[in-house]
Amino acid sequence: MSRKISMKTAINEALDLEMRRDPTVILMGEDIVGGTGAPGEDDAWGGVLGVTKGLFAKHGDRLLDTPLSESAYIGAAIGAAACGMRPVAELMFMDFMGVCFDQIFNQAAKFRYMFGGKAETPVVIRGMVGAGFRAAAQHSQMLTPLFTHIPGLKVVCPSNAYDAKGLLIQSIRDNDPVIFCEHKNLYGHETEVPAESYAIPFGEANVLRDGDHVTIVSYGLTVHRAMEAADALARDKVEAEVIDLRTLSPIDWDTIIDSVERTGRLVVVDEAHPRCNLATDISAFVAQNAFGALKAGIQMVTPPHTPVPFSPSLEDLYIPSAEAVAAAVRRTLAPSPRSTLAA
Amino acid sequence: MTNTPYPLDKADLLQAYRTMRTIREFEERLHIDFAKGDIPGFVHLYAGEEACATGIMMHLNDNDRIASTHRGHGHCIAKGVDVHEMMAEIYGRSTGACRGKGGSMHIADLSKGMMGANGILGAGAPLICGAALAAKFRGDGGVGITFVGDGASNQGTFLESMNLAAVWNLPVIFVVENNGYAESTAMEWAVSCDSYIDRATGFGLPGVTVDGTDFFAVYEAAGEIVKRAREGGGPALLECNMVRFYGHFEGDAQTYRAKGEVENLRANRDCIKLLAQRLTETGTVAPAELEAIDREVNALIEDAVRCAKAAPPPVAADLLKDVYVAY
């Protein structure tokens, strides 16, 4: 049975289904239950934006509210994972990674390699990413490139409710540490989602739209900007192929290369800061492996190299727009390489 | 030795002596071989601190987890990690505990409950909270022990973890191995409080300070708090005041230490000498029995070094192996 639900509900459903299936799945995080120890209602919040709401009633003590100590509880999730549990730790905003990153990139990511293949750390760290929420510089970043950089971590960033459910179920079942990035501006976005359980394998991009003239690669919220741009371009008889990466590590190089070899043009849209991000990574890979197929310079659409601003008028400028994506596509269609530089 | 709630029979005492001698011989041998240039990378020696690891670990089984430090060889040996595999690891061989990919600072054996030496100071404290949480969910009575030096006792992770363990009532023991030096910096200067008991109290944990060179003092104190944790009594802190015979790492000229300091410690506060003295003076053990253990330990370490040197290094394909379970 399929029905239209939001990405927030889909994530809640994935957590519920996996907790029912596997008793070693536990959840922890700040206010994921809410009101613990306080005189008012139990299960008061279900997470700061209500993603885990209702799970305490179903699973009780397997949801653990934590003190406000990201290093301690993210580390505890990792330690429990190394000892046979499958914890899903919520790091409310991924921006808070700064205070617990050691546990993730020096501990969880390295155990298996550093211990000669003798450790498994099946932990999921999920949290909010992305701009557009008027949440300013410390609650709005798309830090996906930082995680993608680290061998030993897997990085997931769904663009819709269907993918979020299947990818989160896969993340929980996966035997490696997974950073699960939820774009806060997609929580309310609804798609058709089956009620039953299903897993989407990692490293398989989703081709959302077929096209022969240009390949647009993106992930997360900007997938929707890419689709809007593709619709606008279609009115001018430009057919864009839109690829939603879904997972950034592992990444589906084959789908990207196959598409570029057919279209000869590549635009990468990334909400992360422009230096050393997914856009630069993918551009470099394509330049190295499919240079002969390129008919035009690769275009990258990213925010500027600034922190995320607060004022709505500035934040709207910061986030890559559908217009910016369409303009980038048009630069790849311009007659000479020189004109792409001038644009 | 019978007027204790944790009685030790002769076999236990000989085992304690054997463990401490094994750690000492392992470290003394590394000291020599490192100076010869045989060993790659960083090595931090536990010599002088053996009573602490041994006195605590004798209360643990393979179900109990420990998170160690950069100075982890003693914890490994006392927790039952194979000495041959440890030596091979330190030599970077494929037969090592981590197949040559971890080295001295990352020796681990999860089958023995040894969750790894750790190159990041204080990082073991959150991890052991997770191990203890897992034990609590399983209800298997397992406890978690995290070790920090006086240096890492100032890390936020250590302090946060004491609070978390108290809030979640986890079976965790926070062991501060206070050897007086954070690398080269004096504990008296770098630690703001007079006693670690004060820090424990601040987080609602009971704390005990013992002479870490006295095997019996460590053993008894650890027995009490391990039992308490196992029975659901929650976390506690154990401070062991101990001595470091070598530098922070091998190659450290230790110019920051007082003249004659180490010689004095070796003469008067050597935990192995103190244990041997007590065992022989009380007539519990004949000197010849200890000498026999010494010979066996020497032969074991000699063989471990011989095997490590003869073992093959990892092959090129190992470079890419075991980054992920599946990718």
Round to whole Å and give the CA distance between A80 and B129: 8
From chain B, the residues in CB contact with A113 under 8 A are 101, 322-323
Nearest-CA distance B311 → chain A (Å) = 16
The answer to whether B322 and A112 are in contact (CB under 8 A) is: yes
User: What is the H or E stretch that residue B51 is in?
Assistant: helix B50-57
Total residues found in chain B within this entry: 327
The answer to whether A2 and A62 are in contact (CB under 8 A) is: no
Round to whole Å and give the CA distance between A39 and A36: 9
Q: Is the pLDDT of residue A119 over 60?
A: yes
Q: Which residues contact A52 (CB under 8 A, 6 or more apart)?
A: A12, A15, A27, A29, A32, A33, A46, A63, A90
Task: Note whether A183 and A233 are same-domain residues.
Answer: no
Domain of A65, in residue numbers: 2-194
Task: Note whether A175 and A211 are same-domain residues.
Answer: no
Task: Note whether A225 and A157 are same-domain residues.
Answer: no
Q: Residue B226: phi, psi to the nearest 5?
A: -65, -45
Please report the pLDDT score of residue A337 as a whole number: 53
The residue out of A174, A194, A214 marking a domain boundary is: A194
- Beta-strand relationship, B144-149 and A86-93: unpaired
Round to whole Å and give the CA distance between A70 and B126: 10
DSSP state of B291: H
Nearest CA in chain B to A123: B130
Round to whole Å and give the CA distance between B172 and B169: 9
Please report the pLDDT score of residue A21 as a whole number: 98
User: What is the H or E stretch that residue B161 is in?
Assistant: helix B156-167
Query: CA B48 → CA B54, B74, B82, B209, B263, distances in Å?
Result: 12, 10, 21, 18, 12
Q: Which of B96, B109, B161 sits opposite A72 (nearest CB)?
A: B161
Q: Rg for chain A (alpha carbons), in Å?
A: 20
Choose the mutation target among A25, A66, A69, A91 for the interface with B, i.e. most B CBs under 10 Å.
Answer: A69
Do residue B126 and residue A73 have CB atoms under 8 angstroms apart?
yes
The residue out of A194, A217, A249 marking a domain boundary is: A194
The answer to whether B99 and A117 are in contact (CB under 8 A) is: yes
Round to whole Å and give the CA distance between A280 and B140: 49
Q: How many CB atoms sit inside 10 A of residue A96's CB?
A: 18
The two tokens of residue A175 are 């035997």
Do residue B157 and residue A152 have CB atoms under 8 angstroms apart?
no
Compute the half-sphere exposure of residue B82: CA atoms within 13 Å on the CB side of its CA.
15
Compute the half-sphere exposure of residue A284: CA atoms within 13 Å on the CB side of its CA.
7
CATH number at residue A301: 3.40.50.920
Q: Is the pLDDT of residue B132 over 80?
A: yes
Do residue B129 and residue A111 have CB atoms under 8 angstroms apart?
no
Q: Is the pLDDT of residue B298 over 60?
A: yes
Compute the half-sphere exposure of residue A49: CA atoms within 13 Å on the CB side of its CA.
22
Q: Residue A131: phi, psi to the nearest 5?
A: -100, 175
Q: Which residue(s) pair with A249 in the sheet?
A: A155
Round to whole Å and give the CA distance between B31 and A142: 48
Higher pLDDT: B231 or A339? It is B231
Tell whether B125 lies on the interface with A, counting CB pairs under 8 A: yes
Q: Which of A72, A87, A114 sits opposite B157 (nearest CB)?
A: A72
Size of interface A-B (CB pairs under 8 A): 153
The two tokens of residue A120 are 């498994």
CATH number at residue A83: 3.40.50.970
Do residue B130 and residue A116 have CB atoms under 8 angstroms apart?
no
Identify whether B248 is part of a domain.
Answer: yes
Task: Note whether A226 and A130 are same-domain residues.
Answer: no
From chain A, the residues in CB contact with B67 under 8 A are 79
Nearest CA in chain B to A116: B98
Identify whether B17 is part of a domain.
Answer: yes
Q: Which of B115, B123, B128 sits opposite A106 (nearest CB)?
A: B123
Please report the pLDDT score of residue A1 as a whole number: 86
Q: For A56-108, write each residue's pLDDT tens digit.
A: 999 999 999 999 999 999 999 999 999 999 999 999 999 999 999 999 999 99
Do residue A83 and residue B65 have CB atoms under 8 angstroms apart?
yes
Please report the pLDDT score of residue A42 as a whole number: 82
Task: State the catalytic residues of A.
Answer: 139
Q: Which residue(s) pair with A214 in the sheet?
A: A240
Task: Note whether A169 and A285 are same-domain residues.
Answer: no
Confidence of residue B7 (pLDDT cuts 50, 70, 90): confident
Choose the mutation target among A83, A86, A153, A252 for the interface with B, i.e. most B CBs under 10 Å.
Answer: A83
Confidence of residue A343 (pLDDT cuts 50, 70, 90): very low
Residue B239: name the closest of B274, B273, B208 by CA. B208
Identify whether B4 is part of a domain.
Answer: no
Provide the domain count of chain A.
Answer: 2
E strands along A82-142, which residues?
86-93, 124-129
pTM: 0.96
Round to whole Å and give the CA distance between A8 and A180: 13
The residue out of A194, A223, A243 marking a domain boundary is: A194
Task: Please identify among residues 147-176 of chain B the ones whose CB lies closer than 8 Å to any CB of chain A.
Answer: 156-157, 160-161, 163-164, 167-168
Provide the domain count of chain B.
Answer: 1
Q: Is the pLDDT of residue A281 over 50?
A: yes
Q: How many CB atoms sit inside 10 A of residue A82's CB?
A: 28
Task: Note whether A140 and A84 are same-domain residues.
Answer: yes
Identify whether B279 is part of a domain.
Answer: yes
Q: What percent of chain B has pLDDT over 70?
A: 98
Do residue B324 and residue A112 have CB atoms under 8 angstroms apart?
yes
Q: Which of B100, B127, B321 sits opposite A107 (nearest CB)?
A: B127
Torsion of CA B310, B314, B316, B318, to 10 degrees: 160
Nearest-CA distance B145 → chain A (Å) = 12
Q: What is the mean pLDDT of residues B112-119?
A: 96
User: What is the H or E stretch that residue B21 is in?
Assistant: helix B10-35
Please report the pLDDT score of residue A335 as a whole number: 72
Nearest-CA distance A159 → chain B (Å) = 22
Do residue A75 and residue B326 have CB atoms under 8 angstroms apart?
no
Tell whether B322 lies on the interface with A, counting CB pairs under 8 A: yes
Identify whether B99 is part of a domain.
Answer: yes
ipTM of the complex: 0.95
The two tokens of residue B266 are 């070796």
Burial of residue A254 (CB within 10 Å: 0-12, 13-18, 19+) is exposed
Which residues of A lie inside 8 Å of B (Cβ-Cβ)?
24, 26, 64, 66-67, 69, 71-85, 87, 102-103, 106-107, 111-120, 151-152, 154, 174-176, 203, 250
Whether residue A250 has a cis bond before it, omega within 30° of 0:
yes
Task: Note whether A252 and A312 are same-domain residues.
Answer: yes
DSSP state of B114: B
Identify whether B1 is part of a domain.
Answer: no
User: What is the H or E stretch that residue B182 is in?
Assistant: strand B181-182
Query: Cα B243 from chain centroid?
Result: 13
Q: For B245-276, write each residue's pLDDT tens digit.
A: 999 999 999 999 999 999 999 999 999 999 99
Task: Note whether A183 and A212 are same-domain residues.
Answer: no
Tell whether B101 lies on the interface with A, counting CB pairs under 8 A: yes
Do residue B133 and residue A76 have CB atoms under 8 angstroms apart?
yes
Do residue B130 and residue A75 have CB atoms under 8 angstroms apart?
yes
Q: For A185-244, write each residue's pLDDT tens digit.
A: 999 999 999 999 999 999 999 999 999 999 999 999 999 999 999 999 999 999 999 999
Q: How many CB atoms sit inside 10 A of residue A289's CB?
A: 14
Identify whether A313 is part of a domain.
Answer: yes
Q: Is the pLDDT of residue B2 over 50?
A: no
Q: Which of B96, B106, B129 sits opposite A79 (nearest CB)?
A: B129
Task: Note whether A316 and A187 are same-domain residues.
Answer: no
| Residue-averaged pLDDT of chain A | 96
Please report the pLDDT score of residue B3 as a whole number: 55
Angle between helix B124-138 and helix B156-167 axes, rounded to 10 deg: 20
Nearest CA in chain B to A251: B327
The answer to whether A241 and A214 are in contact (CB under 8 A) is: yes
- Beta-strand relationship, A2-6 and A124-129: unpaired
Confidence of residue B194 (pLDDT cuts 50, 70, 90): confident
Q: Which of B102, B137, B156 sits opposite A114 (nearest CB)?
A: B102
Please report the pLDDT score of residue A43 as a whole number: 85
Q: Is the pLDDT of residue B4 over 90?
A: no
Q: For A247-273, write each residue's pLDDT tens digit.
A: 999 999 999 999 999 999 999 999 999
Task: Please identify among residues 4-33 of chain B the ones whose CB lies closer than 8 Å to any CB of chain A.
Answer: none
CATH number at residue B107: 3.40.50.970
Domain of B45, in residue numbers: 10-320
Nearest-CA distance B43 → chain A (Å) = 16
Identify whether A199 is part of a domain.
Answer: no
Identify whether A114 is part of a domain.
Answer: yes
Nearest-CA distance B90 → chain A (Å) = 13
Identify whether A11 is part of a domain.
Answer: yes
Identify whether B2 is part of a domain.
Answer: no
Q: Is the pLDDT of residue A342 over 80?
A: no
- Beta-strand relationship, A190-194 and A2-6: antiparallel
Nearest CA in chain A to B113: A83
Task: Note whether A182 and A50 are same-domain residues.
Answer: yes
Q: Is the pLDDT of residue A4 over 90?
A: yes
Helices (H) and strands (E) in chain B, counts: 12, 7
Task: Note whether A167 and A240 are same-domain residues.
Answer: no
Q: Is the pLDDT of residue B94 over 50?
A: yes
Round to whole Å and give the CA distance between A254 and A248: 13
Choose the mutation target among B174, B203, B325 for the interface with A, i.e. most A CBs under 10 Å.
Answer: B325
Task: Note whether A212 and A183 are same-domain residues.
Answer: no
